[in-house]
Amino acid sequence: MTIAMALTKGRLEKNTIAMLDECGYGTEALKNKGRALVFADTKKDLEYFLVKANDCITYVEHGVADVGVVGKDTLLEGGKDYYELLDLEIGKCKFIVASLPETDLFNKVGQIKIGTKYPTVARQYFLSKGMDVEIIKIDGSVELSPLLGLCDGIVDIMETGTTLKENGLVVLDTVCPISARLIVNKAAFRLKRNEILDLITDLESVVKKNAASTQ
Ligand code: PRP
């Protein structure tokens, strides 16, 4: 049975394809994609499609994709009706709290304003600290919001730290680490169990190989 696999386009795309290559799969079409969105594997009974992170969860939850590769950041923010079966250990970054150095965010009296693309993650974090917070949803370039005075601080993803540094922001706390995960549709895991377990075994061996080579 063919496995339909939703891949997150953008940041994770290259590393995910490299992992599939390491598994010995036929990803030529994915690498020469032009404007196509659906790609057949040339060696395995696999079909890939490239989607935005949130849509990856949606396709898996609805069973259009049997499996998906998506960042833990997106999983923490929304979606719950899937199995998360493997940490692929790629796309590693973390959720951080940052502000301008002169903003004493954690000692500010009264309500603080936080700009973020991840309102659920941000709300939970400040709730766990017992802090009164107004979350302002921003869709991109979140670092701009404290610079322009819209917010006191931000909750965002940090990978290299370059964006924060270039905008004069400092990290105040780490919320949690993030990496890409393999998620699986619940019904597909019953119907295509062997095929999905084979895929997981292949990916798992690459995860282990990558971990060994970085030690
Ligand atoms: C993400 C994140 C930061 C940046 C961090 O944004 O929101 O802005 O990457 O990366 P760095 O630590 O390596 O500098 P993205 O590039 O996805 O763009 P966006 O802000 O437009 O969503």
User: What is the whole-number distance in angstroms between the Cα of residue 158 and the centre of ligand 1?
Assistant: 7
* 79 and 100 co-located in one domain: no
Q: What is the CATH number of the domain that holds 117?
A: 3.40.190.10
Please work out whether the CB of residue 161 comes within 6 Å of at least one atom of ligand 1.
yes
* 41 and 19 co-located in one domain: yes
For the chain, give the percent of residues with pLDDT over 90: 93
Confidence (pLDDT) at 80:
86
* DSSP-assigned letters across all residues of 163-204: HHHHTT-EEEEEEEEE-EEEEE-HHHHHHTHHHHHHHHHHHH
* 205 and 144 co-located in one domain: no
Residue 175 clears pLDDT 80, i.e. is over it = yes
* 159 and 172 co-located in one domain: yes
Confidence (pLDDT) at 160:
95
Of 93, 121, 157, the residue with max ligand 1 atoms within 8 A of its CB, to mutate for a pocket test, comes to 157
* 158 and 132 co-located in one domain: yes
Span 179-184, mean pLDDT?
A: 98
User: What is the whole-number distance in angstroms between the Cα of residue 77 and the centre of ligand 1?
Assistant: 16
d(CA 92, CA 207): 13
d(CA 178, CA 175): 10
* 142 and 87 co-located in one domain: no
* 80 and 49 co-located in one domain: yes
pLDDT in tens, 16-37: 999 999 999 999 999 988 888 8
At position 123, the amino acid (one-letter code) is R
Residue 215 clears pLDDT 80, i.e. is over it = no
Confidence (pLDDT) at 143:
96
Assign 60 a pLDDT band (cuts: 50, 70, 90): very high
* 186 and 170 co-located in one domain: no
* 15 and 87 co-located in one domain: yes
Residue 160 belongs to what domain range?
93-177
* Type and span of the H or E element at 95: strand 93-99
Of 144, 154, 158, the residue with max ligand 1 atoms within 8 A of its CB, to mutate for a pocket test, comes to 158
- C-alpha dihedral over 11, 15, 17, 20, to 10 degrees? -140
Residue 205 clears pLDDT 80, i.e. is over it = yes
Query: Are the CB atoms for 179 and 70 separated by under 8 Å?
Result: no
Q: Which atom of ligand 1 is nearest to the CA of 143?
A: 8
User: What is the whole-number distance in angstroms between the Cα of residue 21 and the centre of ligand 1?
Assistant: 27
Please work out whether the CB of residue 206 comes within 6 Å of at least one atom of ligand 1.
no
Please work out whether the CB of residue 162 comes within 6 Å of at least one atom of ligand 1.
yes
Confidence (pLDDT) at 34:
84
Confidence (pLDDT) at 141:
94
Please work out whether the CB of residue 69 comes within 6 Å of at least one atom of ligand 1.
no
* 7 and 85 co-located in one domain: yes
Span 116-144, mean pLDDT?
A: 96
Q: How many domains does the chain have?
A: 2
Query: Are the CB atoms for 113 and 152 separated by under 8 Å?
Result: yes
Span 63-80, mean pLDDT?
A: 95
